Amino acid sequence: MKDKTLIRILKVLFRHKILLFLAIISSIIQVLATLLIPIVVARGINYLIGENNVDFTILNGVIILVLLLGLAEAIFGYLMQYLMAYVTNNTVKDIRDELFNKLSNLPISYIDTHKEGDLIMRLIGDADQLGDGLLQALTSLISGLITIILTLTFMLVVSYQVGLIVICLTPLSLLSAYLIARMSYKTFKKQASIKGDLSACYNESFNMLMIFKSYNYEEEIYTKAKNINNDLYKIGVKAQFLSSLVNPTTRLINSLVYASVGIYGALRAVSGLILVGDLTVFLNYAQSYTKPFNDISQVMTELQNSLASARRIFQVIDEKIANYEVTDVLTEVKGEVEFKDVNFSYVLDKPLITNFNLKVKPNSKIAIVGPTGAGKTTIINLLMRFYETTSGDILIDNKDIKKLDYHNLRDNIGMVLQDTWTFNGSILENIMYGNNNASKDDCIKAAKESQADSFITRLKDGYNTILDNDTNLSEGQRQLLCITRVMLKKPKILILDEATSNIDTRTEVLVGEAFNKLMQGRTSFIIAHRLKTIIDADLIIVLNKGHIVEMGKHNELLAKKSYYKDIYEAQFQKIEDL
């Protein structure tokens, strides 16, 4: 998997192959300038023959050439660094975009079965780790490999004996680095996983802070986070220890290379076979040759960590999405909805919805009631295709929703949930969410219909008020904004899942009137626990354990001994004085 992960990263890198090629060319020029400097310096040293025997004309030329080579080395070194940073940041951006796009398109079932904090960690923390390690590794690897190849080539040209000494000792450095990196990768993979668990724990803690405090659960959640953090510490120490072995090991072997070249060159210089300037060339090249091994070993820790993070990112990107061929489209929707032999289960061996059949006529107002866990919200989730049915079909205007494009399906359905949702932005932007073609006048009209206009106009900046953590809106007011969105959208099919649960009684009556107006000429599904809101429904469906146990109008169900009647009387019976 590690090798495949690296190959996938390289494929994304090669999307920017032109800039990558320019970076490599810049690195080659930089290295060539670096390697030519010792030769030029050696030439200058060789002209320092003795006291009062120096050719300053040639020596001045040598100094100027060294300065020019140094300038070229600096310019092209900077250019290489800049291009590498540009390519790396764009690579990480591409991978992060692909990950976010995948998360946006994965079914709700995937999101529900994975820790929110862990997914955020992959999107932000793991992507950042990938970028940091990739930049260091690319810069060191490309520059290092070019340096190694060119230095070895120069060595063989200057003295093939020196080149052979280096070639014989090099495999020891490579083998030690490979073996240690292989061991450390497993620990970095485990470390990345624990980071995800810790992120999930922290995310849960902040999201449920009021609950923890109300149950005096602070000590328990602190202990849980502390234990995960302790596990992260232990695996982190192990990972750092293993990866840190690379650098001293390669330094030891590279020191042997440098010493061997120095001893061999010194013996040849003493024997008069080479000049002192040539000896400085050998030593400089030996140092230039060994330095990339040390640099590469130093970034091995980051590289292993980055590969582990990339693997977690690609795990999500590789998630399969059930693809159905889009062969139909909803146009001029009437609003007829039919469930045919629908079966569904969240867990394979625990069916929830079994043989569910229902046919809803256009423009009907359908109420769905039943105890918690009966499958009310699940029916709505299947209609919206947040989840896919295990078997059976759901039809809108006799068209199988599996054959429809997601956007086409959901464009024709409006949904208001019990949980409110607003994002950082103006109130007007919140209302226009998903309705970008609407005008401000349209938004104001929808807000008046939903009874939201009265509180919006009382705010200092009205519809331009920015909603953020400092904006003091009640849950009920935020719910009114959610309702206004649907008012503005005016879909053919409505889904109201306890849509007025966070609104005070007076406002609920006003919103109910607005909803009644909105539901005219539309098919509406209402999930309700407060039965007074569904008394006028065309059809009330009572669910229990995923089955329809009874259905009918309000008066019909009350007229007979029914499950619905028991629920209704439990809510509205008066306590008699004893």
341: amino acid identity, one letter: D
Residue 94 to residue 68: CA distance in whole angstroms: 39
* Sequence-distant (≥ 6) Cβ neighbours of residue 260 within 8 angstroms: 165, 169
Q: Taking phi first (over 0 means left), then psi (-120 to 50 degrees means alpha), and beta for anything else, what does residue 490 get?
A: left
**337-572 carries CATH number 3.40.50.300:** yes
- Can you state the angle between helices 160-207 and 218-244, rounded to 10 degrees? 180
The pLDDT > 70 percentage for the chain reads 83
List, as one string, the DSSP characters of 254-271. Answer: HHHHHHHHHHHHHHHHHT
Task: Answer yes or no: same fold for 2-15+86-317 and 337-572.
Answer: no
pLDDT per residue as tens digits for the range 416-461: 887 777 888 888 988 988 777 888 899 999 888 888 898 899 988 8
Q: What is the mean pLDDT of residues 505-524?
A: 78
- Cα-to-chain-centroid distance, residue 275: 60
pLDDT score at 1: 45
Lowest mean pLDDT among 81-90, 140-149, 520-529, 535-544: 140-149
Lowest mean pLDDT among 274-278, 505-509, 551-555: 274-278
Residue 406 to residue 413: CA distance in whole angstroms: 11
Determine contact, residues 143/31, Cβ cutoff 8 Å.
yes
Provide φ and ψ at 570, rounded to 5°.
Answer: -65, -30
pLDDT per residue as tens digits for the range 353-400: 888 888 999 989 998 988 877 888 888 888 988 888 888 999 999 999
- Which of 495, 344, 324, 331 has the alpha carbon at shortest distance from 401? 324
Determine contact, residues 139/84, Cβ cutoff 8 Å.
yes
H helix count then E strand count, the chain = 20, 14
pLDDT score at 395: 92
pLDDT score at 339: 92
Q: What is the mean pLDDT of residues 70-84?
A: 89
Is the pLDDT score of 209 beyond 60? yes
pLDDT score at 3: 56
Provide φ and ψ at 342, rounded to 5°.
Answer: -80, 130
What dihedral angle (degrees, nearest 10) is formed by the CA atoms of 142, 146, 152, 153?
160
Residue 294 to residue 143: CA distance in whole angstroms: 12
DSSP code at position 459: S
Residue 415 to residue 447: CA distance in whole angstroms: 16
pLDDT score at 394: 92
Is the pLDDT score of 530 beyond 80? no
CATH of segment(s) 2-15+86-317: 1.20.1560.10
Residue 444 to residue 290: CA distance in whole angstroms: 71
Determine contact, residues 255/248, Cβ cutoff 8 Å.
no
pLDDT score at 578: 37
Residue 322, class by beta-carbon neighbours within 10 Å (0-12 exposed, 13-18 middle, 19+ buried)? exposed
pLDDT score at 149: 81
> Rg for the chain (alpha carbons), in Å?
36
Q: What is the mean pLDDT of the chain?
A: 80
pLDDT score at 210: 67
pLDDT per residue as tens digits for the range 101-119: 888 888 887 887 888 778 8
Determine contact, residues 312/188, Cβ cutoff 8 Å.
no
Structure tokens at 179: 């073996």
- β partners of residue 347: 350
Structure tokens at 420: 């409110």
C-beta atoms surrounding 153 within 10 Å: 12
Pairing mode, if any, of strands 493-497 and 523-527? parallel
Pairing mode, if any, of strands 539-544 and 53-54? unpaired
pLDDT score at 574: 44
Determine contact, residues 443/488, Cβ cutoff 8 Å.
yes
Residue 217, class by beta-carbon neighbours within 10 Å (0-12 exposed, 13-18 middle, 19+ buried)? middle
Structure tokens at 446: 């929808």
- How is the chain split into domains, by residue range? 2-15+86-317, 337-572
Provide φ and ψ at 415, rounded to 5°.
Answer: -135, 130
280: amino acid identity, one letter: T
